[in-house]
Structure 1
Amino acid sequence: MTTAPADFAIVPSSRPRTTAERTAVLDRLSFGVDFTDHMARATWTADGGWQGHRVEGFAPLELSPAAAVLHYAQEIFEGLKAYRHADGSVWAFRPEANARRFQASARRLAMPELPEEDFLGSIRALVETDLEWVPSTEGASLYLRPFMIATEPFLGVRPSRRFEYLVIASPVGPYFVKGFEPVSIWVAEDYHRAGPGGTGAAKFGGNYAASLLPQQTAQREGFDQVCFLDAATRTNLEELGGMNVFVVGADGVVRTPALTGTILEGVTRSSILALLGEQGTRVEECDIPVKGLLAGIRDGSVREVFACGTAAVITPIGRLAGESFDVTVADGGAGPITTQLFGQLTDIQFGRADDPHGWMHRLA
């Protein structure tokens, strides 16, 4: 056994893929379908705290049918990427922000907080172990999925006394098959992602499960994604199933829904706010009534609408529709601010531009 940073012991997989098998996967990149040879792991117990930090072969988990996660959904997750730069080095984008959000999600779900150094150590150890799985093709990356689940076998309604933390990795291409092209959005008016006092600000699987039925409706209507309105008034734009949303006015002001506890604080979202602020762009975090947005698109006072998140980075929105409306954004989608921000962020992530904020974290 060898030891990786943050004391993650390395237990090599007994069944690693051959070079030919790995090459075949890297030649057919999709999103979250194929996985690397290893996973990082640690265990928490009420008596012993965090222990057993290791990297081991990617394999099925052994769980009791009574494991708490299967009955009461006590689980959280994160999503970030490892990017290969031209010199062969591999970097993550603001992983410390993911570590802090993981801790915040844990607090909301009554789960133990993973120390930031363990979070960073786990992704570094996994990437170093599976370094050859990091793609080098244009626009591709290694998607990292840290998650934590309650594994104590019991049927009482209380926080679990045992948890497993894991990180798995998947080489990926663009989240949307068309890449940086405008997508169409169906606005859900009868379903809501989260309500006041709920789990909307946590990266919790239940929030995403709640979005699946409206997403099915969107796809049935011929749309790429679904967008939700707030549960309290049913009038304000909140977020897509897994992405934050921005609106660009003809007056140059960029608006995004305020964080009220029902919206996930996206790492990409906060990065966009920082870039816009440095450029002198006026930014407002505020309510965005859907009626006002539709009127703005129709009269030209809204010029661009885009969504953002780790998986897709930035995606222009070209069309918004619901049961009683259907509007097309000016020029069909990707406007100058959306395009500029996408270029700025991806250039930093892939090492094509300077990183004045220190956002990139070297993994290997």
Structure 2
Amino acid sequence: MIAHIDMDAFFASCEELRRPELKEKPVVICIYTRNKSSGAVSTCNYQARELGIDSGIPLREAKDKATEETVFLEADHDFYRKKSEELLAILSSFTSKIQKTSIDEAYFRLEGDEVEKAKKIKAGIESLGLTASIGIAPNKFLAKLASDDDKPDGLEKVGKDSKKEFLSEKDVIDLHGVGSKTEKILEETGIKTVEDLREVNNTILAQKFGREKAASLKRKAIGKGSRKLESGEQKQISKIKTMERNSKSHRYIMKEIEEIAEKLDERIESEQKAFGKIAIIGIDTELNQYTRSTKIDTAESKKELINHSDKLIRRLLEEKNASLRRVGLRVSDLVDRKTQMTLKKF
């Protein structure tokens, strides 16, 4: 099955992590012009959306709709990217097949008990102080529709047997790729719901939109879509965890790292990978993120992973003297072990 994850009000939620007093207040993330005399709304939280503020509108218009407690903040993309990396690390703990589509969205493949795994992913994200909505379905089109259907903090699975019922409840404007112009033409033809679209004659659609777009609309109406993850296999495997207590003790942190290495080794072994780069991730009590990495001769053993991680943690603690709350490991420059064995012959 394919899953789609969409972080809830991601930029605004990241700001609330740094400033907890913003919770429950309307928060608007802004993009300013060079002299900051004007700008536009990048995004906002749900409280701001209830006031009629939305992405893309001019700041002047947003401020007209704002209340006294509405907070306007300049976008801090460096911070948001760091939090996005933490999200990717959590996803990589469950699958190597990920297609990241933006800083706060991704498709990924789930196998086995998909719902249970999705719940664990959501729990990992909640440990970061954030929430996400996940949709699970046979293809990317339905997975994204499912994640949109249950926001915020939702989880919805659409199976092969339930997709017809799921789609029948939708209006055509709910379908991705159907804009207001297309909606208007469909309504003029008597088509308001996805069920209407599914039942209409193909010839009528082709007369209105041309054969190619008519076929695309029909595919959407019956829930067809691509299963291909464009990025292929993720070129890294990582895992991150919250420690039971904050610490700057090398011995304590290494015990946590060894546990993470055990889990990571299971993934590396199951996927028959070797790695050429190791990184440790540390997040302190102020949510600052630190990484230290090293390139190595391609390796595959847990022993090498722990030995190099030990050196990297020592380096981080010496340079930063930070009390860490979360720690993680990441291996990258992955190659198949069969390929590695072939290379060693030369």
TM-score, with normalisation over the residues of structure 2? 0.24
Q: Which has the larger radius of gyration?
A: 2
Relative to its length, the structure with more strand (as a share) is 1
